[in-house]
Each structure stands twice: as C-alpha cells, then as structure tokens.
C-alpha cells in the first residue's frame, strides 16, 4: 500500500472484563480501542493509516513522520481545558490523553499538516483554538437524547445544512447532508479563527479553519459512512492535501 502516512489517534482506553480468562494468561490491563472503520476509511481515501497510541511526550517526533492527522472520536474532554466547571452529566474523561492529543494537534498545525477531526476530535479542535463546549446537550440545550442514535454507525439518522463557500461544501457538494450521530457534547463558543460550516437546528455540526488548506472538523462519524461518496470525499481531501504538502 502506498500513499501519504496518516496518523489516527486512539482516545479510548478500556479495561476488558474477562469472564473466562485463559489459564496463565496475562492479567487484565488497560487497552486501546479504535473502530476499524477509521483506518479502512483512510485507506479508501488513498492514505496509509497508522494508529497512534498515547505516548504523551513524543508528539513532535511522531508528527514529524506524518503527512496528515485524524483526530478520532472517544470520551468526553476535561472541561478544565476550557476553564469550565464539570457538569453533573460529564462522562468519563482522560486528562493525560487530552494533553497528548492537543500536543499532536499543535505539532500538526505548526507543520502545516492537514487535519480531519471527527466527533470528539472536532470538539478538541475547537478547544485548541480557544473555544468551549456544551458538556451535555441533552440537558443544557434540552435536546433530549436525539443525537445518540440507536442505529448502527453506517446508518444516517438526521440531516445537517452545509454552508456554501466552505471547504466542506466543496468536498461534499454542500446543501443538505445526511449524517449519523453519537454525541452528547458539542461546540458552544467557537474557537478564534474557526468558521462554522454546518448546523442542525442551531447546533454546530462542522467547523474549519479557512486560513489553512485542510483543517476540518465534523461532529458526525464520517468514518462509518465512508461508503457514501460525500463522506469518503473528506478522507480523499485529507489525503490529497497530505500528498501535496508532503
């Protein structure tokens, strides 16, 4: 496989429940978790995917070897990063992982690498630019649980309206875009230098940095929809930009 080297973060750290452990096997330990759709989508877009475990102190060295970066979904972001007290419905968070991914993002931006930020990744992108988050849209915005679908990630459950004249519109065709939804946090105050590029009933669904060739965040899980041309275009755009800047 050839193509630009695209790093994919792994935000989820889990301790597996082993009901019937193998005799003499290693004890349960924290494990990385990343949906297989992420590397598959990057490869479908023409890139060479590589999964990035949280080394925590090697961000610049790692990014120096990459051509592009995908910030994947995962747990809630620690609200201390944007100077908000924790909400009662704040979910589990990993401050050390937050710090690692912010360091990766900072290094990627300093090197001018293209970035595709997905779900939690988009929220982290907004925080990195000085923005804030709704910690629980179900209660803070009284939206209920409509943004956590029960259907599989390959199924679309609502529409977003893409703004004309944006990088997102150029990639996806703009207009109304059908997406999936698995989140309870969202962009509140927009980070400095970012532009909102898609909305759903007032909720921010996509953002980008118009001053850069490719720094795009989407609230939906585009990797699970990569078989749809408009969603695959996000990964193709990431890889194409990586190829020209490598």
Distance CA 140, CA 32 (A): 31
Give Cα separations from 170 to 77, 151, 176, 211, 230 (angstroms). 30, 28, 13, 15, 10
Residues annotated as part of the active site: 119, 221, 223
Distance CA 84, CA 226 (A): 35
All structural domains of the chain, each given as residue ranges with its CATH number in brackets, are: 5-16+26-245 (3.40.50.880)
* Sole residue written with tokens 């930020």: 117
**According to the model, what pLDDT value does residue 19 have?**
47
Phi and psi based region of residue 94 (left: phi greater than 0; alpha: psi -120 to 50; beta: remaining): beta
**According to the model, what pLDDT value does residue 21 have?**
55
Could you read off the pLDDT tens digit of each residue along the chain, which spans 246 residues? 579 999 999 976 665 554 455 555 566 666 777 889 999 999 999 999 999 988 778 999 999 999 999 999 999 999 999 999 999 898 888 898 999 999 999 999 999 999 999 999 999 999 999 999 999 988 888 765 666 647 675 677 889 999 999 999 999 999 999 999 877 899 999 999 999 999 998 899 999 999 999 999 999 999 999 999 999 999 999 999 999 976
């Amino acid at each position: 496989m050839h193509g630009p080297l695209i790093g994919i973060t792994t935000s989820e750290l889990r301790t597996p429940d082993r009901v019937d452990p193998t005799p003499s096997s290693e004890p349960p330990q924290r494990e990385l978790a990343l949906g297989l759709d992420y590397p598959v989508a990057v490869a479908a877009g023409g890139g060479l995917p590589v999964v990035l475990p949280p080394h925590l102190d090697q961000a610049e060295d790692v990014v120096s070897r990459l051509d592009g970066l995908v910030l994947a979904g995962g747990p809630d972001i620690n609200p201390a990063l944007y100077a908000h007290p924790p909400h009662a419905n704040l979910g589990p968070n990993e401050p050390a992982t937050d710090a690692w991914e912010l360091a990766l993002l900072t290094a990627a931006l300093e090197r001018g690498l293209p970035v595709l930020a997905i779900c939690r990744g988009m929220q982290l992108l907004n925080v990195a630019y000085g923005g804030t988050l709704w910690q629980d849209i179900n209660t803070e915005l009284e939206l209920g649980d409509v943004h956590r679908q029960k259907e599989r990630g390959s199924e679309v459950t609502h529409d977003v309206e893409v703004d004309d004249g944006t990088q997102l519109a150029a990639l996806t065709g703009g207009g109304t875009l059908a997406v999936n939804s698995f989140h309870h946090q969202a962009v509140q105050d927009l980070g400095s230098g970012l532009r909102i590029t898609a909305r759903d009933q007032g909720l921010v669904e996509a953002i980008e940095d118009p001053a850069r060739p490719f720094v795009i965040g989407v609230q939906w899980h585009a990797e699970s929809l990569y078989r749809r041309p408009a969603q695959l275009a996000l990964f193709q755009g990431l890889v194409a930009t990586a190829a020209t800047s490598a």
